[in-house]
Structure 1
Amino acid sequence: MQTFQHNDSQLILVQQNLRSLPLELVKRHAEHVELLDLSYNCLKDLSWLAEFEQLRHLVLDNNRLHEARLRTLTQPLPQLEVLMLNKNEFSDLPSTMRLIRRLFPNLQYLSLHGNPICPDGLELQPFSGYLRYDYEYYSNYIAQSLNKLKFLDHGLVQRTYQYESFPIKSYGKQLIKTTSF
């Protein structure tokens, strides 16, 4: 278990079994924190994030977050530029993108590796079950949803793919999987 760390602009509370950020920490740090890392917790409520008006980088990896938990944040954070949501439980691509677009309108970097909506093949299997165009469709959908985004997951945002034959409403709920030999 890591200990609580902070300096004037960073607050790191990794692996603290937090369900929400305690009010006393919000009051003490919200005015000046630019980077907040709450990885490996059990966050259920994000409403307090609106108090962090200087926040530029937010890391929420490994928190079992999904769309309903993101909805607990009711006010946008227009200053946020980097959002890390790796290894959570986001499963509906259109809903997730609507929420992220509304809550973080100036996002420049987003990472969603290890979520059901991300066909990244990070299961570390010898043969990925995803086809290359699954990831291209996913990244194009996100690029079209977030026009200020520059980096997605592990690379520059590409805005050149067109996959009109994919049903947008069902994508992200069930990915097309194949077996490669």
Structure 2
Amino acid sequence: MMEKALDLEILSLEGLKTFSYLEELILDNNLLGNDLLLPRLPHLHTLTLNKNQITELESLLDHLAEVVPSLQYLSLLGNIACPNELVCKEKDEDDYQRYRYFVLHKLTNLKFLDTRKVTRREREEALIRGAFMKVVKPKDAKASSAAASASPESHYTPLPSGSRDLTNHRAQQGLKTRSCLNNTSSVKLQCI
């Protein structure tokens, strides 16, 4: 088909491969997740996947690099994979900037990401540091607690409760400190 733009609110991407000349695809608000698989769309330059359920960024970017080589505009706002401070209070501008570097490292032809134009400085940083901006997530809590309990016992044990006087707040175990004044009258602490 010769359609050049498509704005879909669907649950399945079946039949999308018939739009091989598609240039713009809007898939906002579709409950699409990490299992998203687009057909090869060589002419697609604009893709928005806002407000879906995408949590895994790297696999999505690898897939997009393979099937949409002409992509210049991508928006992932409203997905967990996009750490936007307006959507998630735990995220800040630094988290979002690291996300941008990582995306630009993977998709080098992008000119716009989310709502902002890609700057020359961002492109340079992505080239240098983008590979190191990958967000590493812990495995599920059950797996990590099971691994911790399966690990060999530590040979370190805590001090017995009787050896600590909770009313006396001095350093224990022979730690001594001394302070020295230097030329600027600031205090420097050294452990000896």
Cα offset, 1:67, TM superposition:
2.0
Give the structure 2 partner of residue 116 of structure 1: 80
> For the residues of structure 2 that align with 1:136 and 1:171, how far apart are their CA atoms?
18
- The structure showing larger relative contact order (alpha-carbon pairs under 8 Å, at least 6 residues apart) is 1
Q: Which string of whole-angstrom CA distances, capped at 9 and with x for unpartnered residues, describes residues 5-53 of structure 1?
A: xxxxxxxxxxxxxxxxxxxxxxxxxx22111001xx341x324111102
Change (3 A) 1:111 1:159: same
Query: Structure 1 stretches (4+) deviating beyond 6 angstroms?
Result: none
Equivalent position SS for 1:36 = strand
Largest Rg, 1 or 2 = 2
Give the structure 2 partner of residue 170 of structure 1: 136
1:148 is the counterpart of 2:109: yes
Match of 2:44 among 73, 76, 80: 80
Size of the aligned set, in residue pairs, is 134
| Superposition TM-score, scaled by structure 1 size | 0.66
Q: Which string of whole-angstrom CA distances, capped at 9 and with x for unpartnered residues, describes residues 60-98 of structure 1?
A: 000010121x22x3x311100000100001101111111
Percent identity between the two aligned chains = 37
Change (3 A) 1:169 1:134: closer
> For the residues of structure 2 that align with 1:155 and 1:110, how far apart are their CA atoms?
10
5+ long unaligned stretches in structure 2: 141-192
CA RMSD of aligned residues (A): 2.4
> For the residues of structure 2 that align with 1:110 and 1:34, how far apart are their CA atoms?
16
Give the structure 1 partner of residue 25 of structure 2: 58
5+ long unaligned stretches in structure 1: 1-30, 175-181
| Superposition TM-score, scaled by structure 2 size | 0.63
Give the letter for the 2:82 counterpart.
C
1:104 is the counterpart of 2:68: yes
Give the structure 1 partner of residue 94 of structure 2: 133
